Structure 1
Amino acid sequence: MVSVALAKPLDPCESPAPFSLLVPVYRGDSAHRVRRAIDSNTHEQTRPPAQVVIVRDGPVPQEITDELDRISAASAVPVVRVELEHNAGLTNALNTGLLWCSHDVVARADADDISYPDRFERQLPLIEAGADLVGASMHEIGDDETTPLALRQAPVGRSEIARVAKRRNPISHPSVVFRRSAVEAVGGYEHVPMAEDYWLWARMLHAGADVRNVSEPLVGYRVSAGSYERRGGPRVFLAEMALQWKLRRLGYVGFIQWATNVIVRGGYRFVPLKARETAYRFMVGHRNS
């Protein structure tokens, strides 16, 4: 079993720790949303990052390239652009990006979401107090980011996070700030189709990492008409079974919990779309915002 070294809390007399922002971008993103994501995570923040690392995961349309050029030229925060020749997927993009992060504390953001202005001001004190990973609740948003559609309520407290993690992902990936050393201690991101984040958090929890959530929504998470459709079908079912087998082999879930997950989470992939949306919203603590 891999263990995570306990973080040393920041001395109150020391200056706040600088941190890097890690954002992957790929051809399916929108140039406008890339700009909004970067703006909301840098100069709009009450506590901005000290570095931005943008990983271009393979070729992108010219409009995204042009937008990245403008971001790099205008940013008051140093920007590192890592350009991968081929689209190799999120796992590879994130692991590569981590190599370019200058700071041990790393905040994640997706290229089509937004962060609220006090996100890092709310999360970083928990990291500085000794946490290894801090997530947050999120609003679901559409094109109008000022009108939330629903709330994804994060579980709060170590015991509640640990309980929820046996059944589903307890941490929303676009909301996390973590210590890179704690992530690297368990081997970093590993390729698990559509669940590389959940698999990483499970390994960190299993190794004794200090994982927390902020109850308030700090991120606006974009949803589209196809969001719930993509959560079903044979391909997603097979990915779910691969994840559950890994959790079982790790010893993170016992046989009864594993069998329950296989039946419930596996069966969920084949229910009608509307029922799948309703079930997912119930499972992750959704409520109308």
Structure 2
Amino acid sequence: MAEPFSVLLPVYAGDDPDHFRRAVHSVTTEQSRRPDELVVIQDGPVPGALSSMLERLRRESPVRLVHHRVPVNAGLSHALSIGLEVCRHDVVARMDADDISLPGRFAAQLPVIEAGAELVGSGMYEFTDEETITARRTPPVGSAEIAAFATFHDPFNHPTVVYRRSAVRAAGGYRELDLMEDYWLFARMIQRGAKVANLPDPLVMYRVDSGSYDRRGGWRLFRSEWAIQREFLRSGFTNRFQFLRNLLIRGGYRFVPVRIRRALYQRRFSRPASLDV
């Protein structure tokens, strides 16, 4: 039986109004299976152009659009935690304000949830504009492969996931961990025995820019890396060998020169010849 579901989309002052409009259209008017509501969490004050765009989209939306304001920008995990409480439905799809969901996304993912999965992600394209695809990310498929992969890498592309709110709550919800709140949540869900799945085909286009490789490195990300690896070890999600391996490889990656980081990343993710839709 088809279940109702919500889309949860946070927006903040740094988001581009046109990109936001494109993201909203991609999860509403363009979907072959539309959500029952779109919940937009405004994380702190936003500029006038973005505020006007939000109001316009609220008026024009073909689905119920809930605009919830958070007075002070407190970060993604806080916004998502509030958003999960605002959503009417147990099934929630994540979306970001500058990405694009392909038209068949929900038609592909919702049947997996309705068949018993509690968390399902998908592959995704990285793009600089809608004509330039730079990479294709294919996640691990199958619960055993996902669990094994998770001890070293995040097994889900966060902007692609659909999950049951009840399963997220059972794992403790989003917790504050700069830039890695999603990985920490998914690891706890796996550890608690949540039924997880991935669809290998790209269902979301993830926007990147010239600064993307810089943001994958530096002390800020290393501190988050240290924190999450310490939590994994403390909780028994990883063993001591995996803890040391992860700090050496994942932590060391944060300090290699940007040009080397770019080359390593591009070796891992192949560039597709065309957009498959």
Please report the TM-score for the alignment, with normalisation by the length of structure 1.
0.92
In the alignment, the residues of structure 1 paired with residue 143 and residue 264 of structure 2 have an alpha-carbon distance, to the nearest angstrom, of 25
Preserved CA contact (<8 Å) 2:37 2:64:
yes
The residue aligned with 1:8 is: none
Give the alignment partner of residue 48 of structure 2, picking from 62, 74, 80.
62
- Per-residue CA shift, 1:184-223, capped at 9, x if unaligned? 1111100111100000000000000111110100000000
Per-residue deviation at 1:17? 0.3
Structure 2, gaps ≥5 residues long: 273-277
In the alignment, the residues of structure 1 paired with residue 106 and residue 238 of structure 2 have an alpha-carbon distance, to the nearest angstrom, of 32
Aligned to 1:141, what secondary structure does the other structure show? strand
Give the alignment partner of residue 51 of structure 1, picking from 8, 32, 37.
37
Give the alignment partner of residue 84 of structure 1, picking from 54, 57, 70.
70
Q: Does 1:113 align with 2:103?
A: no
Aligned-residue CA RMSD in angstroms? 0.9
- For 2:235, the aligned partner's letter is L
Preserved CA contact (<8 Å) 2:121 2:157:
yes
Q: How does 1:188-207 map to 2 (within 5 A)?
A: 188-207=173-192
Give the alignment partner of residue 211 of structure 1, picking from 193, 196, 216.
196
Q: How does 1:157-236 map to 2 (within 5 A)?
A: 157-236=142-221
- Per-residue CA shift, 1:209-256, capped at 9, x if unaligned? 111110100000000000110111112111110110011111100110
Preserved CA contact (<8 Å) 2:42 2:68:
yes
The residue aligned with 1:246 is: 231
In the alignment, the residues of structure 2 paired with residue 73 and residue 235 of structure 1 have an alpha-carbon distance, to the nearest angstrom, of 40
Please report the TM-score for the alignment, with normalisation by the length of structure 2.
0.96
Q: Which runs of 4+ in 1 moved over 2 A?
A: 278-282
Give the alignment partner of residue 5 of structure 2, picking from 1, 16, 19.
19
The residue aligned with 2:271 is: 288
Aligned to 1:64, what secondary structure does the other structure show? helix
- For 2:17, the aligned partner's letter is A
Preserved CA contact (<8 Å) 2:135 2:266:
no
- Per-residue CA shift, 1:137-176, capped at 9, x if unaligned? 0000112x14322101111111111111010101000000
Aligned to 2:4, what secondary structure does the other structure show? coil
In the alignment, the residues of structure 1 paired with residue 7 and residue 64 of structure 2 have an alpha-carbon distance, to the nearest angstrom, of 10
Aligned pair in 2 of structure 1 residues 192, 43: CA closer, same or farther (>3 Å)? same
The residue aligned with 2:22 is: 36
In the alignment, the residues of structure 1 paired with residue 18 and residue 50 of structure 2 have an alpha-carbon distance, to the nearest angstrom, of 8
Aligned to 1:130, what secondary structure does the other structure show? coil
Q: Does 1:127 align with 2:113?
A: yes
In the alignment, the residues of structure 2 paired with residue 246 and residue 147 of structure 1 have an alpha-carbon distance, to the nearest angstrom, of 38
Q: Does 1:262 align with 2:262?
A: no
Preserved CA contact (<8 Å) 2:9 2:94:
yes
Percent of residue pairs identical? 50
- For 1:287, the aligned partner's letter is S
Aligned to 1:76, what secondary structure does the other structure show? coil
Per-residue deviation at 1:51? 0.5
- For 1:210, the aligned partner's letter is K
Per-residue deviation at 1:280? 3.0
In the alignment, the residues of structure 1 paired with residue 42 and residue 124 of structure 2 have an alpha-carbon distance, to the nearest angstrom, of 25
Per-residue deviation at 1:273? 0.3
